[in-house]
Copies of this chain bind each other. A is one copy, B any other.
Amino acid sequence: MSLVVVGSVALDTVETPFGRAEAVLGGSGTYFSAAASLFHPVRLVGVVGDDYPVDELGFLRARGVDMEGLERASGPSFHWVGRYDFDLNTAHTIDTRLGVFADFKPQLPASYRDAEWVFLANIDPDLQLEVLDQVSSPRLVACDTMNFWIQGKKDALLRLLERIDLMLLNEAEIRQLTGKANLLRGAREVMARGPKAVVVKKGEHGAMLYTDEGVFFVPGYPLEQVFDPTGAGDSFAGGFLGHLAAGGVVDVEHLRRAMVYGSAMGSFAVERFSAGRLKDLTVEEVHARVREFRRMTHFELAERAGEALGSGIR
């Protein structure tokens, strides 16, 4: 039941209205692994430079993250420098130093190739396609992307869509990819190109899952303060796929619950800089937050039709 993620393992320098963090652990592969490994072992594929503080990934190793696929190349690590203003929904990129990531060619170790669960984090869709060529018969492939690739590599992305099961996009991305302002129509358009499920991430407004069986919504967890939004989407994906892989079942009930585990992990990720909160987090805390999500969304239908109809008119 192996779960493989291919993504960036980076350094982030982030400034928010609440403080600044310098060259801390970042990257989609890192956030995904930190979230998913609470539920299921993870096999990580990525590249770091010779300046990377590999020791700081020790907490991932302790949680069962296999790093055979983490290449160490000579040169500087990928380093993202960004800023959030009070509108924490928008990241302002100050500098993107790709370093060794510029030449990243994902190579899956032999032991990874029977992966059942695959997460293709946001990298060049041509590389995402190459990863798929290296896995023999995955059970579920999920994929993320960004505006840059939708703009510049749309053809590769459309070829990729034919080969994946689940696409994760934010609102702007699904509109850009499909040309549909309406999310329902956009999701249907994406599904017509291959994926059996589409997740639309709406930040503080929550997330939606579209499948043939309909729509499922999870609200954003109501935090009093979002400290640093970096990594929320990849932590969501980690909670989502980690939960699915742990259960080993892909049906509507498990997909729904995976949405909630994803949302819970995204909400924890933004409580501190870097993967700070995910590092300390226990599975029990996650379950407790999932129960909170349940309390925040569940209601009972009126016991008798008459109650809702009222005593008034017929």
Which residues of A pack against B, CB within 8 Å?
A: 1, 37, 39-41, 63-64, 86, 181-185, 202, 205-206, 208, 214-217, 219, 222-225, 242-243, 245-248, 253, 256-257, 259-261, 283, 287, 290-291, 294-302, 305, 307-313
Contact = CB atoms under 8 A, between A and B. Distances in A.
18 contacts: A39-B309, A39-B312, A41-B313, A182-B224, A182-B225, A205-B205, A216-B296, A217-B296, A219-B219, A246-B311, A247-B307, A248-B311, A253-B299, A256-B300, A257-B301, A283-B309, A287-B308, A298-B298
A290 B290 CA distance: 23
A301 B311 contact: no
A40 B313 CA distance: 7
Given A64-B313, A184-B222, A308-B247, A299 B39 contact: no
A309 B300 CA distance: 28
Contact of A300 (B215, B223, B253): B253
A119 to B, nearest CB: 16
Contact of A312 (B41, B206, B260): B41
Given A257-B301, A283-B308, 8 more contacts: A63-B313, A214-B295, A219-B219, A247-B307, A256-B299, A290-B308, A294-B301, A298-B298
A242 B1 contact: no
A167 to B, nearest CB: 17
Contacts of A247: 302, 307-308, 310
A283 B184 CA distance: 26
A214 to B, nearest CB: 6
Contacts of A311: 1, 40, 246, 248
Give the most central of A205, A225, A295, A310: most B CB within 10 Å. A310
A145 to B, nearest CB: 23
Contacts of A41: 312-313
A181 B87 CA distance: 9
B39 A296 contact: no
Nearest to A247: B307
Given A224-B182, A299-B253, A40 B217 contact: no
A312 B37 CA distance: 9
Contacts of A283: 308-309
Given A302-B247, A313-B41, A313-B63, A86 B260 contact: no
A305 B313 CA distance: 48
Give the most central of A217, A260, A301: most B CB within 10 Å. A217
